[in-house]
Amino acid sequence: MALAIFYVWPFTTLLVEALDATAVADTFGRSQTWKVVWFTLWQAVVSTVITIVVGLVPAYLVARFAFTGRSVLIGLLTAAFVLPTVVMGAAFLALLPDSLDRTVWAVIAAHVAFNVAVVVRVVGSLWEHLPTDMEYAAASLGASRWHVVTRVSFPLVRPAIVAATTIVFLFSFTSFGVIRVLGAPGTRTIEVEVWRRATQLGDIGGATVLALLQLTLLAVVLAWSTITQRTHSRALALRPVAPRRRARTRGERWFVGSAATTTALVALVPLSALVVRSFSTPSGWSTNAWTHLGRDEIRPGLRVGVDPVDAIANSLVNAAWATLFAVVFGGVASLAITAAKRHGRLIDSGLMLPLGTSAVTIGLGMLITFDVAPFDWRASWWLVPVGHALVAVPFVVRVCVGVLRSVDPAMTDAAATLGASPVRAWWATVVPYVWRPLGVGAALAAAISLGEFGATSFLSRSGGETLPIAIEQLLGRTGTTLQAQGYVLATMLAAVTVLLVVAVERAQTETDRTPGT
């Protein structure tokens, strides 16, 4: 129902708007459109390929080896993953020399740093379930380490590689925040062009046509991914986590040391640049930007234009509600999907739509739908959190359904033969698996809401700016004084997001130690 009101309806409005023949002809007739489409596609493919290749190394590292600082490394990577796109954009803006700022290479570098964690998380978490003895069995049949990886490990973790490829491609293809901060007129994705047409040029028709074009392209990718994953789905994830070992040989120690260091640097260096730049002014180092954060006038006569403190408050309130909406809705939906079996697939695909629809499209749809009487909800406090929750629900569902699907139905049957009623049997065998993914889902939802930029770009109103909006506005100004304020906010947002993730990781480690879970 919620999906119908806040997704299907705006989406239908969008469709109707897009079916305007003049707008379609205008949009497709513009050479600019095709330039944008081509740019979006090639930068996404390049970003994805580099990310997967780079990410498989740390994925293998954390899945197979025990080493000092392992959990810190995972925390760092996870932090990079949940880092808001605007913050990652800001970090690379701070890091790269001016000659590289606002080029496609800056954009791709940010995409890779951002998404490596996806590969490590998705592929690593399946890889660690792959029994080490299976790899030893291959070795005892004459397989070299390379052959073990290519003939046994990769084929078995392939569903995870496909899933990671899909997620990274979707993120890069619909990149918005990174490009708004790091991009230039020549590096516009479809997503940015939709926003530009709708809010800067007032060309709602053109924006909807482009949004629809993007949707069509994404639907193809998602369909491919769903089919491929289903065919290769195996019960691997249900096996216990294989024991991790310390590096034994000199080669292994070298691998662990260099891979861990490089991965940590990929996550740490951009973030450090952010902090450094928040203290930098034309006249040297200063804490000015931090100490003057709450003041509207940072120098006599120089106004920030947005209130950073208000932005922080707005973001926190939005995040609390969005998390609640996303977890309740996502959790119930996941249970429904797995319980309904065949029909569940339909609900599942339906719920993945917001993921494929991109935040900007959701924002655009909600903007043009809820801005007119009798549903003038644009001023409602809950519209932004609902937009955020819509963006977050697919993540909650993916995390939960993945785990729920891998619960062997035979276990429920076994419980039934022991005298448990169907509900009781389901409760005893399925529900214990839900809490963990739900916790992960809640953390993801909160992080997504705090950093959400795409939908918020359409939905937030003047005075209701969230942190990412404030950051983008400040970094877009000239002058290091204003930019330093942007870096301060970006640092704070990064810190809050990271703290959130550390807390969840801690909670999860404790769950691991609880007997019977």
Partner 1 sequence: MSNLEVHGVRVAFGELVVLDGVSLEVASGESVALLGPSGSGKSTLLRVIAGIVAPDAGIVVVGGVDVTHVATHRRGVGMVFQDNQLFPHLSTLDNVTFGPKLAGVSKDERNAAGREWLDRVGLTGFDDRDVTGLSGGEAKRVALARTLAADPTVVLLDEPLTGLDRELHDRLAVDLAELLQPVTTLLVTHDPEEAAVVADRTVALADL
Would you state the torsion angle of the CA atoms of residues 481, 482, 485, 490, taken in this order, to the nearest 10 degrees?
A: -130
In the complex, what is the shortest distance from the CB of residue 251 to partner 1, in angstroms, rounded to a whole number? 10
Footprint of partner 1 on this chain (CB under 8 A)? 131, 133-134, 136-145, 147-148, 151-152, 155-156, 158, 234-236, 248
Closest by CA position to 115, among listed 217, 266, 258, 225: 266
Q: How far apart are CA 72 and CA 264, in angstroms?
A: 9
**Residue 158 token pair:** 């392939």
Q: Which is nearer to partner 1, 6 or 65 (by Cβ)?
A: 65
Closest by CA position to 122, among listed 227, 68, 38, 52: 52
Contact 126, 64 (CB under 8 A): no
Q: Which is nearer to partner 1, 35 or 145 (by Cβ)?
A: 145
Q: Which is nearer to partner 1, 138 or 403 (by Cβ)?
A: 138
In the complex, what is the shortest distance from the CB of residue 373 to partner 1, in angstroms, rounded to a whole number? 58
Q: Which is nearer to partner 1, 253 or 477 (by Cβ)?
A: 253
Q: How far apart are CA 406 and CA 444, in angstroms?
A: 21
Q: Which is nearer to partner 1, 143 or 316 (by Cβ)?
A: 143
Q: How far apart are CA 462 and CA 420, in angstroms?
A: 56
Contact 170, 118 (CB under 8 A): no
Residue ranges in 358-514 assigned as alpha helix (H): 359-369, 383-405, 409-417, 422-429, 435-451, 454-459, 467-475, 480-513
Q: Which is nearer to partner 1, 132 or 286 (by Cβ)?
A: 132
In the complex, what is the shortest distance from the CB of residue 125 to partner 1, in angstroms, rounded to a whole number? 18
In the complex, what is the shortest distance from the CB of residue 135 to partner 1, in angstroms, rounded to a whole number? 9
Closest by CA position to 473, among listed 490, 491, 497: 490
Q: How far apart are CA 216 and CA 200, in angstroms?
A: 24
Q: Which is nearer to partner 1, 151 or 436 (by Cβ)?
A: 151
In the complex, what is the shortest distance from the CB of residue 261 to partner 1, in angstroms, rounded to a whole number? 25
Say which residues have a Cβ less than 8 Å from residue 374's Cβ, sequence separation at least 6. none
In the complex, what is the shortest distance from the CB of residue 62 to partner 1, in angstroms, rounded to a whole number? 21
In the complex, what is the shortest distance from the CB of residue 144 to partner 1, in angstroms, rounded to a whole number? 5
